[in-house]
Chains A and B, each alone.
Chain A
Amino acid sequence: GQNIDQPTEMTATEGAIVQINCTYQTSGFNGLFWYQQHAGEAPTFLSYNVLDGLEEKGRFSSFLSRSKGYSYLLLKELQMKYSASYLCAVMDSNYQLIWGAGTKLIIKP
C-alpha cells in the first residue's frame, strides 16, 4: 500500500530552526509537496520537489532524496505565526496526491 509518515507533533522555540521529516512509499513518484495549514484554515502551498536536493525559499527550505523516499521541511528563524500543521504529500504515478496526517508544530516564546 501507499504510505506517508511524518511526526504527529513537534515543539520548537521562537527564533530557532526546526526540521520536519517525511518518509514515503508510493506507487510511482511525480513530486512531493509541502503545505502549511493553520487551524480552521485552508492548506496553503509551501514547496514542491521533484528532483533530489534542496530547494530554498527564504526562511523555508525543502529537501528530497528519491532513493531514500525521504524529504524534510526546514524552517529557520521561527516566528510564532509559523505555529500550524505541516502536511507532506506525494503525487503518485496516477497523479493523485497521497497525504501524510500532518505534523503539528508548536512554537514557544
Chain B
Amino acid sequence: ETGVTQTPRHLVMGMTNKKSLKCEQHLGHNAMYWYKQSAKKPLELMFVYNFKEQTENNSVPSRFSPECPNSSHLFLHLHTLQPEDSALYLCASSPGLDADTQYFGPGTRLTVL
C-alpha cells in the first residue's frame, strides 16, 4: 500500500460514454498527478495539480478533463474517448513540486471499445 488509492481498477467503455476516474491520497501531500502508461512506452505526464491549482497540462486532448476539489482528491473525467486512449492511468502524489518522491496508486486499466 502506497497511501494512494484509485477507483475503479478496471474500466471498459464505449466511445460515446462518459466516465470518471477517482484518485485519493492519504499522505498529506500537496501535489497530485495524472499519468498515462501504454505498453512498452514511457509514462506520459498528463496533468499536475499543486494545492488544488492546475500547474501543468501536457497538451492533453480535451476529451480528458481533470478536477481537483481538494489536495486529497483528483478526478479524471472521460468523454468521447478513442480506442488509442486504452491504457493504464496512474495517479501519483508528492509533498510538493520540487525534487520530491512521487507515490503512485495502482492505476485504472482503461479499455475503450
Contacts and interface: CB of A to CB of B under 8 A. Distances in A.
B51 to A, nearest CB: 15
B103 A30 contact: no
A59 to B, nearest CB: 20
A101 B38 CA distance: 9
B102 interface: yes
Interface in A1-42: 4, 8, 30-31, 33, 35, 40-42
B45 interface: yes
Given A30-B99, A95-B99, A96-B56, A43 B104 contact: yes
Interface residues of B, number: 20
B32 interface: no
A102 B88 CA distance: 15
Interface residues of A, number: 25
B76 interface: no
Interface in B90-112: 90, 97-99, 101-107, 109
B99 A44 contact: no
A105 interface: no
Nearest to B48: A96
Contact of A42 (B56, B101, B105): B105
Nearest to B39: A101
B42 A95 contact: no
B104 A101 contact: no
A17 to B, nearest CB: 26
